[in-house]
Structure 1
Amino acid sequence: MAFNLEIPYSHPFGHRGFTHSVLFALLWAGLLALLVGKSRKYLFFITVFSATVSHGILDALTTGGLGVGFFIPFNMERFFFPFRPIKVSPIGVSKFFSEWGFQVIISELKYIAIPCVLVLLFLYLLKPKE
């Protein structure tokens, strides 16, 4: 979205900037919990917050870009984790359907999809039988 609005990548509202910060995740989860969370607003809040903040965490595990602004607006520095196994996705549809895009899909399956499926399977197996 920031690219479409011609906001520079390194700007606090640029790609992986404020919308990837912990503050944004708190505000977004709170707003959605108030507007659409019918019952168990705290559970809805925790789910949306976790999903939003995890996006920044996953981006900080990628091999490209300028890093993630976890603490914007309090600290404008961008961060990566020391371990960065996820290949950064190319920007643009034509570039995504290429060898690079294929490598990204394999990387995301390996480091995101398969671990998620294993966690869900584990939780399912722990679920008490009725």
Structure 2
Amino acid sequence: MPSIFTHAAIPLALWCASERGRISPRLLGAGVIAAMLPDADVLAFALHIPYADAFGHRGASHSLLFSTVLALLAAVLARPLRATRVQATAFVFACALSHPLLDAFTSGGLGVALWWPWSDSRLFAPWRPIRVSPFANNFFSARGLQTVLSELRWVWLPLFLCVLGWKAMQHRAPVEIQHP
């Protein structure tokens, strides 16, 4: 998995790329929580649930179904999030789904159960450049530093460049069409 901090990168990038005020601070907070929440499944280790179990790490909480449930919850909470139902649903769904997709690009683990409950298969992306993050007790180590550098290169820098490119396209002067 990427570090918990990097899972917040997608909602933050979407917020930065949007017009000011379009995504409320409350909706941004909900998106950050939705992007990080799937890793609450590490509690399964304390409950002696095996990693490969459907409710183990990178299992059900990393599924399309889980992302959909969070999005539907956001739709119900749209007013307190200061968003329309469509905006809350779409933003939270994208943020929640970003978590298993980022995890699929990591170099370790068992893959993500993206299609649970329809399939127990664990999936990886065909290309896995992001170093898998060590768990909390080993995060502040040489391996943790390698993970952070990998995340900066493969997640934060590309997102930063995408946001800059999007902002540059938005602020370009409109081209005037001259008719003969």
Verify same fold: TM over 0.5. yes
- RMSD over aligned CA atoms reads 1.5
Question: Whole-Å Cα distance in 2 between the matches of residues 2 and 108 of structure 1?
Answer: 25
Counterpart residue number, 2:146: 103
Structure 1 residue 46 and structure 2 residue 87: aligned? no
Q: Using the alignment, how far apart are the partners of 1:11 and 1:57 within structure 2?
A: 19
Partners of 1:118 and 1:2 lie apart in 2 by 37
Asked if 1:118 corresponds to 2:171, the answer is no
1:29 is displaced (CA, Å) by 0.8
CA distance in 2, matches of 1:82, 1:63: 11
Choose the corresponding residue for 1:37, options 59, 71, 78.
78
TM-score (norm 1): 0.91
**Which consecutive residues of structure 2, in runs of 5 or more, have no partner in the other structure?**
1-42, 174-180
Alignment of 1:41-120 (within 5 A): 41-93=85-137, 95-120=138-163
> Which shows bigger deviation, 36-45 or 111-120?
36-45
Instruction: Specify the alignment match of 1:13 in structure 2.
Output: 55
| Aligned positions, number | 128
Equivalent position of 2:36 in the other structure: none
What do the CA deviations read for 1:90-125 (whole angstroms, capped 9, x no partner)? 0123x1111100000000000100111111111211
Q: Percent identity?
A: 41
Residue 24 in 1 paired to residue 55 in 2?
A: no
Q: Which amino acid aligns with 2:78?
A: G
Structure with greater proportional helix content:
2
Structure 1 position 129, deviation (Å): 7.0
Matched residue type, 2:124: F
Give 5+ residue unaligned stretches, structure 1: none
Greater C-alpha radius of gyration: 2
Greater relative contact order structure (CA < 8 Å, 6+ sep): 2
Q: If the length of structure 2 is used for normalisation, what is the TM-score?
A: 0.67
Report the CA distance between 1:6 and its aligned residue. Answer: 2.8
- Structure 1, residues 37-74: CA drift from partner, whole Å, max 9, x if none? 12411111111101111110110000110110000111
